[in-house]
């Protein structure tokens, strides 16, 4: 069920999230991740407010009810357009609306939003206030610690002061600068050094505000270490490229009983889901491409990846390809390997 009006999932202890990632965290990816963890907070890809207002709303906003809790990430800088996008998205039942203040791509820069907004915190605050005025679910911000030549110790607190005064319910901080000139989006995820300490200091300064950390987190052990200092942890590429690490998440962070993952059940659920998608005019590849990294490190994983990458892309491929891929994996010792 969708969260009730208020701070929702930010009122109930730690939050573990899978980051919004363009071209990756689409509805098929989110459905797949939800079959592995019942508690992870899932995010859409960034959707530009103008696209929601003028584009194919159902394609951009519709999602499966099983995805909850799921957050919609918006891109934009015009408060009126952001508010209109939130109004349009309201009936779809998202659990959170998040404003992107961290993406460094050229497309985002040309639209003067994403990481560019670190340079204009007053614009971010106006956007947050406009979104809060029409939203019945938490409105949050995902940002960097600064951009280009900004001094993070000045820029980040200034942004937080303004967005919190505007009513933001939570802030997720990618603990790296973004370089708007000279680095590609991929390089911006890897080259600027991580500074987790500044994120910890923001939490010390605002102890009553939810502050979560993102950037370079590879394992659940690292996530647990961060949770000693902040309220939430967000994994990006690590959770996507090795989705199996989500298998122990509910036990380690949310009190679920320790158990060997039900891989047969996961296979069957994804086959049913894929069949439904194909019946509606989609292709198996749309679903299977997100499953490729599931069994990284296990015997048979290479063959598993090959089947999903090659066979699922063939014309007329059906859910039986998923069954064949799972059959290639040796699951003995799987729990230990995947939770490492």
Q: Could you give the residue numbers annotated as active site?
A: 103
Closest CA to 115 of 130, 105, 128, 129: 105
Tell me the C-alpha distance between 184 and 193, whole Å. Answer: 15
Contact 139, 167 (CB under 8 A): yes
Strand partners, 48: 75
Neighbours of 316 (CB within 10 A): 7
Task: Give the whole-angstrom CA distance, residue 173 versus residue 142.
Answer: 6
For residue 30, what is the enclosing H or E element? helix 27-36
d(CA 75, CA 109): 11
Helix (H), strand (E) at residue 242: none
Separation CA 143–CA 20 (nearest Å): 12
């Amino acid at each position: 069920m969708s969260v009730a009006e208020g701070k929702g999932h930010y009122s109930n202890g730690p939050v573990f999230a899978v980051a919004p990632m363009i071209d990756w965290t689409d509805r098929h990816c989110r459905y797949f991740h939800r079959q592995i963890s019942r508690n992870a907070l899932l995010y859409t890809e960034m959707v530009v407010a103008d696209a929601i207002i003028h584009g194919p709303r159902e394609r951009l906003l519709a999602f499966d009810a099983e995805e909850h809790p799921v957050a919609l990430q918006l891109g934009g800088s015009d408060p009126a357009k952001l508010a209109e996008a939130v109004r349009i998205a309201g009936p779809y039942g998202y659990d959170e609306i998040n404003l992107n203040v961290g993406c460094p791509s050229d497309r985002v820069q040309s639209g003067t939003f994403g990481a560019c907004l670190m340079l204009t915190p007053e614009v971010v605050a106006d956007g947050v206030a406009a979104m809060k005025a029409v939203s019945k679910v938490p409105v949050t911000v995902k940002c960097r610690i600064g951009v280009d030549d900004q001094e993070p110790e000045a820029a980040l607190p200034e942004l937080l002061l303004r967005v919190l005064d505007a009513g933001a319910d939570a802030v997720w901080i990618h603990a790296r600068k973004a370089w708007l000139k000279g680095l590609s989006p991929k390089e911006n995820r890897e080259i600027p050094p991580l500074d987790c300490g500044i994120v910890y200091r923001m939490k010390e300064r605002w102890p009553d505000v939810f502050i979560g950390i993102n950037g370079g987190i590879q394992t659940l052990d690292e996530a647990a270490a961060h949770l000693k200092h902040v309220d939430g942890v967000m994994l990006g590429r690590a959770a996507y490229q090795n989705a199996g690490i989500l298998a122990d998440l509910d036990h380690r962070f949310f009190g679920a009983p320790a158990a060997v993952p039900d891989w047969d059940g996961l296979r069957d659920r994804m086959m049913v889901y894929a069949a439904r998608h194909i019946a509606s005019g989609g292709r198996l590849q749309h679903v299977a491409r997100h499953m490729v990294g599931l069994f990284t490190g296990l015997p048979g994983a290479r063959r598993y990846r090959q089947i999903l990458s090659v066979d699922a892309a063939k014309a007329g491929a059906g859910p039986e390809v998923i069954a064949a891929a799972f059959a290639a994996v040796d699951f003995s010792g799987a729990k230990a390997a995947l939770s490492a």
